[in-house]
Amino acid sequence: MTRVSRDFGDTMQKEAVPAVSADVIFASSRFPNYKIGANNQIIDAKEDPKVLTMKEVVARETALLLEQQKRLSVRDLASKFEKGLAAAAKLSEEARLREAASLEKHVLLKKLRDALESLKGRVAGRNKDDVDDAIAMVEALAVQLTQREGELIQEKAEVKKLANFLKQASEDAKRLVDEERAFARAEIEDARAAVQRVEEALQEQEQMSRASGKQDLEELMKEVQEARRIKMLHQPSKVMDMEHELRALRIQLAEKSKHSILLQKELVRSKRVEESLSHVYELDGAETLGSYLRIKPCSDIAPELSKCSIQWYRISSEGGKKEPISGASKSVYAPEPFDVGRILQAEINFSGQQIILSTAGAIDPAPGLGNYVEALVRKHDVEFNVVVTQMNGADHPSESIHVLHVGKMRMKLCKGKTTIAKEYYSTSMQLCGVRGGGNAAAQALFWQAKKGFSVVLAFESERERNAAIMLARRFAFDCNIMLAGPDDRASLGT
């Protein structure tokens, strides 16, 4: 069976058609369009250039944009070139280390060959043959090492060439990035200029419309005055009475308008003062038990807090009355367990002006503190490590560790085996968080064991401080004692 080749028709055409000379000049660069008519006559077809529709143009532009989106950006190319350059540098370093290692191998082989040569002169017989074999093996190793060095030199040259190529490509990519950035900045500036021109045109158009409206109003007023004059000629008495009434109304209207303008200016001025004052200070800090709130100035015109009088208040979340917190007159206040579920508010007075700052919502409880206190309630006596920072209102210089005992019937403060204070729960005892201070206010509490003796204790953490307050109030409540801070008993009773 004979296989028919695909090239059979092509070879026949090549043999049948003679070659065309290179000097032949064709009238057109494309193959002409013909039509075969009757009797196999060739008729020239009229050219009908195809005009693309708008839909085709949009589809074509969309395809081009998608193709451009699939390409890597110039920045990606630059990063890839930089990675390649780093890899080439690493390969160059490895080649340098290999070259140093091969140099050490050459030195070792030379020393070994010298040692074998010196040994060869000292031995004879079979040992001398073994030494010759060893020298031959060393020479073979030297030849292999030389060949390996040649390969390493060739690899080093290739790596160096690759590093130079990548370095040049990285520089080109960086240059392209800079050019694209400059082009983008120029386009942004052009867009800004165009926007500014549009805004100027809009302002000019608005001014022209205002001028035309004012001119129409003046023409209308002239027509009204002319109509009044004609009406006055027909009915002089009525028109005169109406004219006097209109004049009186105009006077009253002018006075009212002046008064309203003054009121509007005063209202705008008062609003600006309120807005400026409301943005002078702000409360900073988490609104939760265990943190602290700080009054922070947020404007350059804010007066110094040392020159202002500050008072903190607590307000019930149901919108109850405002209760002042006795002693809370500093720029920092750490919420205590009694503040949980209430809104805190700070009033700042200076130069006869008042600013009121409030928390966004009620103070949230500390997570897990309730379960921790319930676990401590089961114990008869709970100990807390504390440091006495103040005693009877004076700073305490010693920073030694004390132990605060919170029991079911009494509280006790000890230093080692020495008891500093031991008192049963009573109406004269006061306990609350420190009202003021710095960042450590959330870790300190105020304890008045009895009249004439009070201390400020600093705990190891905010959790320990809040747990001690809650635990002592729980045990005091079991003894029918309301344990609170200064001037807090009335609010606790309610």
CATH of the domain at 335: 2.60.40.2700
- pLDDT category at 40 given cuts 50, 70, 90 is low
Same domain, 424 and 474: yes
As a whole number, mean pLDDT of residues 240-245 equals 70
Asked which of 12-21, 294-303, 330-339 is least confident by mean pLDDT, the reply is 12-21
pLDDT at 269: 67
The answer to the question of residue 230 being in a domain is no
pLDDT at 319: 67
Last residue of a domain, one of 312, 338, 358: 358
Asked whether residue 191 carries a pLDDT value surpassing 50, the answer given is yes
For the chain, what is the mean pLDDT? 78
Same domain, 377 and 318: no
User: Is pLDDT larger for residue 44 or for residue 369?
Assistant: 369
The answer to the question of residue 225 being in a domain is no
Same domain, 434 and 388: yes
Same domain, 298 and 350: yes
Last residue of a domain, one of 358, 393, 408: 358
Asked whether residue 189 carries a pLDDT value surpassing 80, the answer given is yes
Count of structural domains within the chain? 3
As a whole number, mean pLDDT of residues 255-269 equals 79
User: Is pLDDT larger for residue 107 or for residue 390?
Assistant: 390
Same domain, 333 and 374: no
User: Is pLDDT larger for residue 252 or for residue 159?
Assistant: 252
The answer to the question of residue 484 being in a domain is no
pLDDT at 273: 59
Asked which of 5-19, 151-165, 175-189, 288-302 is least confident by mean pLDDT, the reply is 5-19
The answer to the question of residue 214 being in a domain is no
The answer to the question of residue 18 being in a domain is no
Instruction: Answer whether 427's CB lies under 8 Å from 481's CB.
Output: yes
Same domain, 179 and 98: yes
pLDDT at 91: 67
Same domain, 429 and 336: no
The answer to the question of residue 21 being in a domain is no
Report CA dihedral (454, 480, 486, 365) to the nearest 10 degrees.
Answer: 100
User: Is pLDDT larger for residue 164 or for residue 484?
Assistant: 484
User: Is pLDDT larger for residue 241 or for residue 278?
Assistant: 241
Same domain, 333 and 376: no
As a whole number, mean pLDDT of residues 300-316 equals 84
N residues, the chain: 494
pLDDT at 131: 76
* The three-state (H, E, C) secondary structure of the chain, written as one string: CCCCCCCHHHHHHHHHCCCCCCCCCCCCCCCCCEEECHHHCEEECCCCCCCCCHHHHHHHHHHHHHHHHHCCCHHHHHHHHHHHHHHHHHHHHHHHHHHHHHHHHHHHHHHHHHHHHHHHCCCCCHHHHHHHHHHHHHHHHHHHHHHHHHHHHHHHHHHHHHHHHHHHHHHHHHHHHHHHHHHHHHHHHHHHHHHHHHHHHHHHHHHHHHHHHHHHHHHHHHHHHHHHHHHHHHCHHHHHHHHHHHHHHHHHHHHHHHHHHHHHHHHHHHHHHHHHHHCCEEEECCCECCCCEEEEECCCCCCCHHHCEEEEEEEECCCCCEEECCCCCCCEECCCHHHECEEEEEEEEECCEEEEEECCCCEECCCCHHHHHHHHHCCCEEEEEEEEEEECCEECCCCCEEEEEEECCEEEEEECCEEEEEEECCCCCEEEECCCCCHHHHHEEEEEEECCEEEEEEECCHHHHHHHHHHHHHHHHHCCCCCCCCCCHHHHHC
pLDDT at 50: 59
Structural domain range at position 432: 369-479
pLDDT at 99: 65
Same domain, 375 and 430: yes
